Chain A
Amino acid sequence: EAGVTQFPSHSVIEKGQTVTLRCDPISGHDNLYWYRRVMGKEIKFLLHFVKESKQDESGMPNNRFLAERTGGTYSTLKVQPAELEDSGVYFCASSPDRGFYEQYFGPGTRLTVT
């Protein structure tokens, strides 16, 4: 069974540019989560999808971040325009939609904004 995959693994962009991160969850997992770790800080929750619906987006830092999950499969996280403080590692995780299960994490996308 394939795990959670994320693309790209690294991205270096200039301030003001746009970047789109992609996450493919484990097949059949209805729950999809985005987290972020800014340098030197803890991993923080961004948002949670159940299928294609946003269940909780309380962790999204501002309206420069837009997450989508069309069709309830893969998800994208767009940052537009990127700022220096957006640099960090963005993790995606997925879990089945029954009760409370552990979340399976992808390898992360390291975003550097210069």
Chain B
Amino acid sequence: AQSVTQPDIHITVSEGASLELRCNYSYGATPYLFWYVQSPGQGLQLLLKYFSGDTLVQGIKGFEAEFKRSQSSFNLRKPSVHWSDAAEYFCAVGAKAAGNKLTFGGGTRVLVKP
């Protein structure tokens, strides 16, 4: 069975500082990996995805993520955080063998200090 762990429930970061959100997954084969963001009052928006190929993936809003098979990780990074990045971030894993349904981590809520 698939599982996703986001170890950090809350993270506070100063505006302009770098951000890294951790995600670890468990799956027998190479999964499809996603990061979604939910801003206050909004739905889930896809930031980026990894299916195959280059393990460093670029997404929207200046985010990137790196797939590390040896560590079963897919951490999300942003070099310089903006106040508008305050939101909840979800890592998710999917697989064709699992019928394409997504398994989500518990989410990490990011607070941006001025």
Residues of chain A having any CB pair with chain B under 8 Å: 4, 31, 33, 35, 41-45, 48, 55-56, 59, 91, 93, 95, 99-100, 102-108
Given known pairs A31-B100, A48-B100, the reply for A91 and B105 (CB within 8 Å) is: no
CA distance A51 to B4 in the complex (A): 28
Which of A55, A99, A103, A107 is close to B102, meaning CB atoms less than 8 Å apart? Answer: A103
Residues of chain B having any CB pair with chain A under 8 Å: 4, 32, 34, 36, 42-46, 49, 51, 90, 92, 94-96, 99-107
- Are B96 and A100 in contact, CB atoms less than 8 angstroms apart? yes
Which of A42, A100, A106, A107 is close to B105, meaning CB atoms less than 8 Å apart? Answer: A42
Given known pairs A45-B101, A48-B101, A55-B99, the reply for A105 and B43 (CB within 8 Å) is: yes
CA distance A99 to B32 in the complex (A): 12
What distance in Å separates the Cβ of A42 from its nearest Cβ neighbour in chain B?
Answer: 5
What distance in Å separates the Cβ of A19 from its nearest Cβ neighbour in chain B?
Answer: 19
Which of A48, A93, A105, A106 is close to B99, meaning CB atoms less than 8 Å apart? Answer: A48
Query: For the complex, would chain A's binding face be called helix, strand, loop or mixed by DSSP majority?
Result: strand
CA distance A100 to B32 in the complex (A): 9
CA distance A4 to B45 in the complex (A): 11
- Are B46 and A104 in contact, CB atoms less than 8 angstroms apart? yes
- Are B44 and A91 in contact, CB atoms less than 8 angstroms apart? yes
Contacts of B49 in A (CB 8 A): 102
- Are A105 and B36 in contact, CB atoms less than 8 angstroms apart? yes
Given known pairs A100-B32, A105-B43, A108-B43, the reply for A35 and B94 (CB within 8 Å) is: no
- Are A105 and B44 in contact, CB atoms less than 8 angstroms apart? yes
- Are B94 and A100 in contact, CB atoms less than 8 angstroms apart? yes
Which of B32, B96, B107 is close to A42, meaning CB atoms less than 8 Å apart? Answer: B107
Contacts of A105 in B (CB 8 A): 36, 43-46
